[in-house]
Amino acid sequence: MQIAHIIGGIVSIVGSLFLLLGALGIVRMPDAYNRIQAGTKATTLGTLLFLAGIGIAEPGWLPKLAVLILFILFTNPVSSHVLARAAHHIGIALTSRTVADKLREHEEAARD
């Protein structure tokens, strides 16, 4: 029983490192879109591993943790997509290192 707790703890620590990575990503990235990128991906895998680690340590909790994991896996990309769409709609500027913006070209072509 003790070994399961140790394995679960290590998995959870790896997950928390990914959470820290996501937080660092939203601090370091230069514009809103890149922040959404770093934030979504790293926190999704981080939370998944974190909850999986707790599930390994306490197998009886797995059903509830599974609901939580499935929920995060489905809602996280949707909310980041909605945020990115809103940001582009109200004209948040992309960083100066951007090489192309096909969506703006498309919208300007539709308006003409």
Partner 1 sequence: MKNWVVSMILLFGLWLLLSADLAVPILIAGFIVVFLIVLLFSVRNPVFRDIKLGPKALAYIIIYPVVFLKALVMANFDVARRVLSPSLPIRPAIVEVRTILHSPIGRLMLANSITLTPGTLTVEIQGDSLFIHWIDASATDINGATESIVRGFEKYLEVIYG
Partner 2 sequence: MGNALFSIAAGIALIALVTAAYRFFRGPGAVDRVIAYDVLTIISISLIAVISYLARRVIYLDVAIVYGLLSFLGVIIVAKYLERGL
Q: Give, in degrees to the nearest 5, the angle at Cα 95 between 107 and 108.
A: 10
Residue 61 DSSP class:
G
Site for partner 1 in 61-90 (CB under 8 A): 63-64, 66-67, 74, 76-78, 80-81, 84-85, 88
- When asked if residue 33 is in the footprint of partner 1 (CB under 8 A), the reply is yes
At closest approach, how far in Å is the CB of 70 from partner 2?
A: 10
In this structure, the dihedral spanned by the alpha carbons of residues 38, 41, 43 and 47, taken in order and rounded to 10 degrees, is -170
Phi (first) and psi of residue 37, to 5 degrees: -55, -55
- When asked if residue 12 is in the footprint of partner 2 (CB under 8 A), the reply is yes
Segment near partner 1 (CB under 8 A); pick from 5-13, 42-50, 51-59: 42-50
